[in-house]
Structure 1
């Protein structure tokens, strides 16, 4: 027996399984039962035939959902006189049908006027024939649907049951046990998705699999998409619009299906007046898409669409750009563009007045401030107050600007168009869903808290594999207040996987995906070729260093292999019914990302090792090629899932960019006279002319590596000659050969107790003897910090690494502060200058302060501090991203993380998710140094800092561990 309990906190109790019987334990044991299916009671569904077509759709889908759970399909009726027994009643609160069950006077006027809200109410004996009624009613048709589908979710039908093959949780009996419930209004008015760059997934899949008769994305596909949107409490679509796809209005039933599902139709930033220029603007017939030279034809083109779509729920995109994501034609500069756009918007509104409503301000309209349009807006374009300003991210997850205090007063409000998938420069990411959930939460809550709440649209590409990003984005849009605490992001993700795979697996899956997203935040799989596009370049070596920072390449490969093994372990334990969903949501993205990384990282190792003459270089070349073949195999398996249901949905090479190909790896054969080679971590370090490992610091457990490898023989030997017992080695000798071990890595660390007993020597020399030579390697010990408190930040080997949340002091003010955002950043916890609505602080004495103490052992005039922030943009169009930085008693320096347009700096920022600024800092004495950071502008997100005394110009790409004593 399954009990589902709804209360004002939405859900009480916990579910336990016993012999396929689900029970909710609750203190509210006196809640009324509503039996949907038991041996004594089988409910029927009654909906309002005079209501919206969506009432009918919801009723029949609910009946199907109940059938999937119980194998009992309720009868669906429309006449109250036929209703008897237990009845689920569906309809608008304004309908005559619902009036038979609810007293309108008992409903508050505030609830009745809420946007897209719903209620649940259980009523005993509403008439002589009906024993119990479960009323699901809404303030509009979509409110009703949300009420229906949220019950479906609670009885075991996941919103992704079709789109991710999530199995329905079945039960022998189904009983609801609930209190009355009234939902609140959604946080954002229009919430939805943009189908985009569908050329390699959604469109070919629809043509092959779900809709071969259309050979395209048509009404069958859209009906499934619209159902998903409603199950996710969403309401808006920007239809697919690439050249591979016919325009939405090409198939008349597309609009009819949208109307039936009550989905609001909008169009992207490049498609004014619901027109798909790529498919619908016929240049040969109409001429240039140029308002200066061809105004009449452009106006006629728009007017025909407005006339034909006037009865649709729609948001009209206003303004004009080029045919497809390009600048407007016919203007020479921003001044001309602003003047022309002003007239265009006026003419477009005249069409809306003429054909839809003379009160044009009541018609939903949007002006998307995208790419060059932002420059026009900054240049003085005046957008009518009732038009919603839709701000955009920079295509890589960082919102370019949001409404300032005055813009927040606009009657049309504002919103955000955001990307989880993108085609364009500096590089596409169309393959895997890798945008970090903590970044999505931070940026969208920033929009919400600055009152940008009218329209939120997520570019989901092909929908798959962006399932979780879609869920997260739409859940924030529906109930943003849950996400005010940044830590809720992880809880949300775990709940997503719990709903699908159950508590036995959800915690581990969440940990896997958190690591997956964090590794991609460091560098997306699509960016691992270090290439760019528009124009497209060939691949380059990565910036991961195999010889220093504890071998960055091996660390990254190991991190991916760890989560791959965990995925395999779960995959082996999962029941067969969950394996398709697991492949789609977890296994394919994790293994795909892992193998894309291995493809390039093993390539780098092969090339780097070949330069050293290592015979092992060929092994890494083969591993790189193997990784490419693994991706091919994984993709073939994905497209065969669920008996071919997803045939064509996954393409491992969207746009056929160089990064997706099997990289060429060529290197000459080694002809070295040496038999065995030796490589030392951080090889560039030397002391007194000798090979030298990085310095060891007293008390530090750090180890460093030495590699020994075959160069030009079938076998060889090595050994570490006699060394003091305070030097610990992972191995002291070995044999190298071509069949078993072409190379070995030896880790060297210090036994500090033995070191003390030996008299605390500052140096020692190891001798590695090979077949042909003896190689001395010097060990150096630093005792620079013997009088310093444990856990202090110190300079080690020319670097001090500090994470921004590890301050020694924080001095916040009454209305201004530095706030920690958990989960975000390379350090996984960043400091934000707050509150977001604060004005810039010009008086450092009254500004919030972060203070850091660093102990150094180097005196130099050539040191620098690198400050790394999250590469966000200023909060408003006229904003900045400044902080004031003071080193010791040196003059304060102003640092601004703001970037301009699509500059080279911005490109590097978004590819690495780092905004990097550097200042010169003199170190006049050893010992304690002070770093002080004052808030100037709100919204700055500080991640970590690097003090560099080494003289090296490049920093480690991977964030090292903090350098603590």
Structure 2
């Protein structure tokens, strides 16, 4: 990659264009009587705008013209069209930006820098607008902002365009073909924005539909070319976005993004005062990306950087492009703290002892930002994103915000500063201040946060949803963004994107959802990725579906447990074939991704590698390496010669990671983590080796039945509780176990080769293979045992013995018997439901037997959510609550066989969620077995203000394990039963149910789903 450095919802009723994501299409590539030619027969429609429009509009118009050229290789003319003098309408009231016309030497410098960086975004040189007054002979495209562009004002008047749908609206637009827009012009395609970003978004909306990906520069996505482009006469339109301020936060940007920017945008030396490489050359590319994604807001890079100080053009260029700037949750009043305070001020960052210096420091930030469109972060935290001192009290923080309000009044020379956007970020201990009663002025937006792991800590209560400042959300979010919309947390959304890559797809969905949440529903989640794949890689519909499946599984596998938290025993090495299944899943995923990658044109492969192939390669490599390390250490404890082969595998996979890293030109952050920061070097997981020339004490053969960490013959601490003189192994099978066979590994215990036979004393037990040869070059053989004909077995328990015999030259013969207990059960006549197998009933929550609806609410599926299949949650999203047993039900019929004195446990696996309705209204659901008493389940205990509940953040806590299991003791005699899970409060998300009848084995993903009859 030339520039590289190293869940979704959707709606079925959309009319999508080939390259459009989440928007109505008005673009086609074939002529008809109902469309307008943007380019036809190598001739492009001229583009007209006026010099009094916003500079950001002029820049976007130049990029729009360049996008047309990218698609068609035809360059449209771009002209500043002059109309007869008319009174200039006032600038749009929805922006506090400066105008587009330069009025000073500094403004001229901004214009020059903007033009230069705009040129760098183009394939070649961006067309420059020239001043003309003669009407074009070809029907033109006329661009402009309502109330700002004299050209658009004239067109609206001449053509009688009804603009009521966008007048006074925030970032809305309309487009259409109109007759007689200007004297001498018979018709034109008119693009009108309600404000400057409305116009900009209209242009980039069309660019995307033409086939230009927003990521064409950042991810090297090639533009799909077409000879001609047409737009429908009725055009496209969009109202106000769902979220007012929608943006990203560059954070933890060292070392990847910072090193890359130093190489690409500096001569090797960063900013004079900070050394930061994040200058205006970097940021203008980022501004362009943000606007193409229909976002409008940015918290800039924070570590070792100061946005307004590193480059004096950063702040005015953001405003010129049309990007609203803010500073992060811990940087008040538009100053990069602690960097700027350490550079320019004296004394401690302590408001109790140094308030005069701090107030003066904040005043400079407010005055510096005054000419530009900004959102001010209010309040105060400690240096380096830390809490203030333990003595900090609410009174002090209330005085901080009161003084910040006075500072804004002085800086803006306004008594009423309620129209200046302000946020108070309720992050960690700051939320605790709010919970303890601290309040701010009603017009300040409350920015709710997550727990640093993607779980929103709290949503506004009903009483909090009518604040004039509204509410918003900051940090890593997925499924819960729909709840943010439902709870009116839609004033400001900021997504912490780390160092930007490799989260392109997720960033785009977050911002697309914020742009128009009404489009997306859980029912067709996958269409976002399908449309994204079509746009990015220009693949067929069939291959786009394959890419969607690849992405779904990639994100699911990595979300089961974050890669930096994986280890060699995360996935069970002995239960339910879990580790082998995970490896098989990664192998299938890699094969699918590689097949698509190899089928693509060479020009498209770099983008696919960045966005799909490398994440799959690196993730699969990591998972395989860690599982192999776990298997290596287990086999060493079992005295198996194959230990050494696995050690070699781990070594090879560890080195392979660097090869992938080199191919991606960056650092892979997955290996060697032991806390949140990247390691100073990657480190291989610990491995063991056994001596290759020495025979194991028990003899040449090692027998390891499935489901055990032990090994026979000889003593092994895992063979039995006594750990020595243990009996021969016994294994269990039944006819409703979802794993229908059983394996026994036959392994070498040293260098001596041997042959083995496996002999059963029962004809109904089939062995495959029944014999084999073991040697240092082939140290393992897996023998599968299965019942050939269940009709030959009696009801209940049946017994068989398989004897493994080893013969080796110069060594004593060995014989290891393995006892099989095989149980044949039968289901009651007419029963339909899940059947106990292996002493367990395991049910995916979405596989209900029946559901009920109450007051319009019922359990609905979240496809793809969770570790194994999906999840259910109360839908539609509302504030409805129900008494225990009175709400909508998800019911599951099942049958049990084992008589364990009626004692059983039920584990309901819920998504790792917090009491986002407040601890006073905690998450709850009801649980009932048959006609037994209804239980109220409150899975999340209370938390200290600003903290998290017990069990949340530990190494094997709910967050690390990506779930919250709740286990209950119940009475279950053999027979048919019904489990009922009832809605009590919104936001509960349930993934899986496991009923343990005595056979449950420890595992990470839980037992495979039971057989359904």
What TM-score, normalized to structure 2? 0.84
Match of 2:971 among 899, 917, 922: 922
What is the CA-CA distance between 1:630 and the residue it aligns to?
Answer: 1.5
What is the CA-CA distance between 1:892 and the residue it aligns to?
Answer: 3.7
Match of 2:958 among 886, 890, 909: 909
**In the alignment, which residue of structure 2 is the partner of 1:662?**
684
- 1:389-438 Cα distance to aligned partner (Å, 9 max, x none): 11111111111111111111101111111227xxxxxxxxxxxxxxxxxx
- 1:926-965 Cα distance to aligned partner (Å, 9 max, x none): 222443333322211111121223276x732123321225
**In the alignment, which residue of structure 2 is the partner of 1:304?**
364
What is the CA-CA distance between 1:144 and the residue it aligns to?
Answer: 0.5
**In the alignment, which residue of structure 1 is the partner of 2:539?**
503
Matches within 5 A, 1:887-906: 887-899=929-941, 900=943, 901-902=947-948, 905-906=951-952
1:546 equivalent to 2:573? Answer yes
What is the CA-CA distance between 1:778 and the residue it aligns to?
Answer: 2.4
- CA distance 1:77–1:487, shift in 2 (3 Å): same
- CA distance 1:503–1:675, shift in 2 (3 Å): same
Contact 1:820 1:832 in 2 (8 A): yes
What is the CA-CA distance between 1:689 and the residue it aligns to?
Answer: 5.5
What is the SS of the residue equivalent to 2:155?
coil
- 1:250-289 Cα distance to aligned partner (Å, 9 max, x none): 3111001101111100111111111111311128942111
Match of 1:713 among 751, 770, 783: 751
1:350 equivalent to 2:406? Answer yes
- CA distance 1:698–1:821, shift in 2 (3 Å): closer
**In the alignment, which residue of structure 2 is the partner of 1:778?**
819
What is the SS of the residue equivalent to 2:971?
coil
- 1:533-571 Cα distance to aligned partner (Å, 9 max, x none): xxxxxxxx4232222212x21111111111112222222
What is the SS of the residue equivalent to 1:158?
coil
Contact 2:737 2:836 in 1 (8 A): no
**In the alignment, which residue of structure 1 is the partner of 2:913?**
872
Match of 1:849 among 879, 889, 894: 889
- CA distance 1:108–1:714, shift in 2 (3 Å): same
Contact 2:173 2:238 in 1 (8 A): yes
- CA distance 1:201–1:320, shift in 2 (3 Å): same
**In the alignment, which residue of structure 1 is the partner of 2:704?**
679
What is the CA-CA distance between 1:32 and the residue it aligns to?
Answer: 3.2
**In the alignment, which residue of structure 1 is the partner of 2:840?**
799
Contact 2:556 2:864 in 1 (8 A): no
- CA distance 1:699–1:289, shift in 2 (3 Å): closer
Match of 1:49 among 43, 48, 51: 51
What is the CA-CA distance between 1:460 and the residue it aligns to?
Answer: 0.6
What is the CA-CA distance between 1:789 and the residue it aligns to?
Answer: 5.0
1:99 equivalent to 2:159? Answer no
Match of 1:944 among 992, 998, 1006: 992
**In the alignment, which residue of structure 2 is the partner of 1:622?**
648
**In the alignment, which residue of structure 2 is the partner of 1:452?**
489
Matches within 5 A, 1:261-272: 261-272=321-332
- CA distance 1:582–1:47, shift in 2 (3 Å): same
- Please give the alpha-carbon distance, in whole angstroms, between the structure 1 residues aligned to 2:19 and 2:556: 32
**In the alignment, which residue of structure 2 is the partner of 1:62?**
64
- 1:771-823 Cα distance to aligned partner (Å, 9 max, x none): 23222222223233342556632333232212222333433312443232222
Gaps of 5+ in 2: 1-11, 21-25, 83-132, 271-276, 711-718, 808-812
- CA distance 1:582–1:700, shift in 2 (3 Å): closer
- Please give the alpha-carbon distance, in whole angstroms, between the structure 1 residues aligned to 2:345 and 2:417: 31
What is the CA-CA distance between 1:247 and the residue it aligns to?
Answer: 3.8
**In the alignment, which residue of structure 1 is the partner of 2:100?**
none
- Please give the alpha-carbon distance, in whole angstroms, between the structure 2 residues aligned to 1:98 and 1:64: 22
Contact 1:805 1:829 in 2 (8 A): yes
1:221 equivalent to 2:294? Answer no
Contact 2:737 2:1011 in 1 (8 A): no
- CA distance 1:798–1:850, shift in 2 (3 Å): same
**In the alignment, which residue of structure 1 is the partner of 2:303?**
242
Contact 1:818 1:831 in 2 (8 A): yes
- Please give the alpha-carbon distance, in whole angstroms, between the structure 2 residues aligned to 1:186 and 1:712: 69
**In the alignment, which residue of structure 2 is the partner of 1:474?**
511
**In the alignment, which residue of structure 2 is the partner of 1:109?**
164
What is the CA-CA distance between 1:853 and the residue it aligns to?
Answer: 3.0
**In the alignment, which residue of structure 1 is the partner of 2:613?**
587
1:964 equivalent to 2:1011? Answer yes
What is the CA-CA distance between 1:753 and the residue it aligns to?
Answer: 5.5
Contact 1:38 1:174 in 2 (8 A): no
What is the CA-CA distance between 1:35 and the residue it aligns to?
Answer: 3.8
Gaps of 5+ in 1: 1-7, 17-21, 421-439, 530-540, 640-646
What TM-score, normalized to structure 1? 0.88
- CA distance 1:788–1:163, shift in 2 (3 Å): farther
What is the SS of the residue equivalent to 1:317?
strand
Match of 1:176 among 228, 231, 245: 231
**In the alignment, which residue of structure 1 is the partner of 2:99?**
none
- Alignment RMSD, CA only? 2.9
- Please give the alpha-carbon distance, in whole angstroms, between the structure 1 residues aligned to 2:495 and 2:45: 38
- 1:744-777 Cα distance to aligned partner (Å, 9 max, x none): 1122222236635x99972222222222322222
Matches within 5 A, 1:267-666: 267-282=327-342, 285-329=345-389, 331-332=390-391, 336-356=392-412, 357-419=414-476, 440=478, 442-483=479-520, 485-504=521-540, 505-529=543-567, 541-550=568-577, 552-639=578-665, 655-657=677-679, 660-666=682-688
In the comparison of the two structures, how many residue pairs are matched? Answer: 901
Higher relative contact order (CA 8 A, sep 6+): 2
**In the alignment, which residue of structure 2 is the partner of 1:763?**
799
**In the alignment, which residue of structure 2 is the partner of 1:159?**
214
**In the alignment, which residue of structure 2 is the partner of 1:935?**
983
Contact 1:767 1:777 in 2 (8 A): yes
- Please give the alpha-carbon distance, in whole angstroms, between the structure 2 residues aligned to 1:415 and 1:449: 12
**In the alignment, which residue of structure 1 is the partner of 2:874?**
833
- Please give the alpha-carbon distance, in whole angstroms, between the structure 1 residues aligned to 2:909 and 2:670: 35
What is the CA-CA distance between 1:146 and the residue it aligns to?
Answer: 0.6
What is the CA-CA distance between 1:173 and the residue it aligns to?
Answer: 3.5
Name which of structure 1's ranges 682-691 and 60-69 shifts more when overlaid on structure 2.
682-691
What is the SS of the residue equivalent to 1:576?
coil
**In the alignment, which residue of structure 2 is the partner of 1:433?**
none
Match of 1:702 among 737, 740, 762: 740
- CA distance 1:565–1:185, shift in 2 (3 Å): same
Contact 1:239 1:248 in 2 (8 A): no
Name which of structure 1's ranges 365-374 and 831-840 shifts more when overlaid on structure 2.
831-840
What is the SS of the residue equivalent to 1:343?
helix
What is the SS of the residue equivalent to 2:394?
helix
- Please give the alpha-carbon distance, in whole angstroms, between the structure 2 residues aligned to 1:79 and 1:10: 36
1:86 equivalent to 2:142? Answer no
- Please give the alpha-carbon distance, in whole angstroms, between the structure 2 residues aligned to 1:702 and 1:748: 9
What is the CA-CA distance between 1:699 and the residue it aligns to?
Answer: 8.8
- Please give the alpha-carbon distance, in whole angstroms, between the structure 2 residues aligned to 1:825 and 1:939: 15
- CA distance 1:82–1:769, shift in 2 (3 Å): farther
**In the alignment, which residue of structure 2 is the partner of 1:737?**
775
Contact 1:460 1:466 in 2 (8 A): yes
- Please give the alpha-carbon distance, in whole angstroms, between the structure 1 residues aligned to 2:795 and 2:999: 32
- CA distance 1:656–1:671, shift in 2 (3 Å): farther
- Please give the alpha-carbon distance, in whole angstroms, between the structure 2 residues aligned to 1:283 and 1:786: 76
Name which of structure 1's ranges 359-368 and 662-671 shifts more when overlaid on structure 2.
662-671
- Please give the alpha-carbon distance, in whole angstroms, between the structure 1 residues aligned to 2:53 and 2:64: 17
- CA distance 1:802–1:443, shift in 2 (3 Å): same
Higher helix content, 1 or 2: 1
- CA distance 1:852–1:717, shift in 2 (3 Å): same
What is the CA-CA distance between 1:836 and the residue it aligns to?
Answer: 4.2
Name which of structure 1's ranges 565-574 and 722-731 shifts more when overlaid on structure 2.
722-731
Contact 1:126 1:133 in 2 (8 A): yes
What is the CA-CA distance between 1:866 and the residue it aligns to?
Answer: 1.6
